[in-house]
Amino acid sequence: MNWLLVAMGGAIGATLRYGAGLLIAKPQMMFPWPTWWINVIGCLFAGIFFAFSQKYVFLQNEARLLLMVGILGGFTTFSSFGLETFQLLKNGAVTIALSYVISSLIVGVIMLGIGFYLTQLALAQA
């Protein structure tokens, strides 16, 4: 059953990633904004879910497999991130590559923290 939860979540997440990429992508973009936004949004939702899972124990097992491993694992795009960074470096766009890597990591971690702490605050009010 665990494998099925991850597979279903992965299919949902990958479909969401594809759709979001179509909405964000514009021709002739130098900076890989679609992947950047998808990873940042994924980090925000990871923080939100983590906060919920700290308060509600039932979210630490099967729900975690479906939501975190499946949906968010399928939605976020670390392999695409690595490939796009490599392509930027290969094409000599070192400054863009470095800004992409640094901003993805910093903003991603910040968004995860924001999602976690705002959700934790909201749950404490409930």
In whole angstroms, what is the distance from residue 55 CA to residue 59 CA? Answer: 9
In whole angstroms, what is the distance from residue 43 CA to residue 30 CA? Answer: 23
Report the b/e string of 56-75 with b at 16+ CB within 10 A.
eeebeeebbbbbbbbbbbbb
* 19-74 per-position pLDDT tens digit: 999 998 888 888 999 999 999 999 999 999 889 988 998 888 899 899 989 999 99
CB-count exposure of residue 19 (10 Å: 0-12, 13-18, 19+):
exposed
For range 69-88, the mean pLDDT = 90
Residue 84 is encoded by which pair of tokens? 């796009």
29: left (phi over 0), alpha (psi -120 to 50) or beta: beta
Which pLDDT does position 14 carry in this prediction? Answer: 96
In whole angstroms, what is the distance from residue 82 CA to residue 5 CA? Answer: 27
Which pLDDT does position 27 carry in this prediction? Answer: 82
Neighbours of 29 (CB within 10 A): 10
